[in-house]
Amino acid sequence: MTCAWIANAHGCKVDEGSVHPCIINGQDYGHLLYTLGVLGWLMLVTIPGGLFAFVTWLIVLILHRASWRKRFGVGVPPPIPPPSATA
């Protein structure tokens, strides 16, 4: 993780238990590094959730396209009516 690499390069401690001071070029980046470290744990939930949503979307897309092809294979006209001529 990037936050651990930055903290180790500057001799700081980062963990998910609490914020530790980390002075880099006169600024305290402890809270920022803590937030970045905790967001790594959020990834453990969001990646599987996003993968599940993507697979669900892909299944719906495949079923929708199969249904669409069946409709046009039989000769059913498209659902959009042609524009009316008013001249």
pLDDT digits (tens, 9 = 90+) for 53-73: 999 999 999 999 988 887 776
| Residue 84 resides in a domain | no
Domain that holds residue 17: 2-73
| Residue 32 resides in a domain | yes
| Residue 87 resides in a domain | no
CA-based nearest residue to 6, from 22, 26, 17:
22
pLDDT at 77 over 90: no
| Residue 66 resides in a domain | yes
| Residue 28 resides in a domain | yes
Torsion, Cα of 67, 69, 73, 76 (10° steps): 70
pLDDT at 69: 81
CA-based nearest residue to 23, from 7, 2, 42, 45:
7
Q: How many domains are contained in the chain? A: 1
pTM, two decimal places: 0.56
5-55 residue pLDDT tens? 888 898 998 888 889 999 988 999 999 999 988 888 888 889 999 999 999
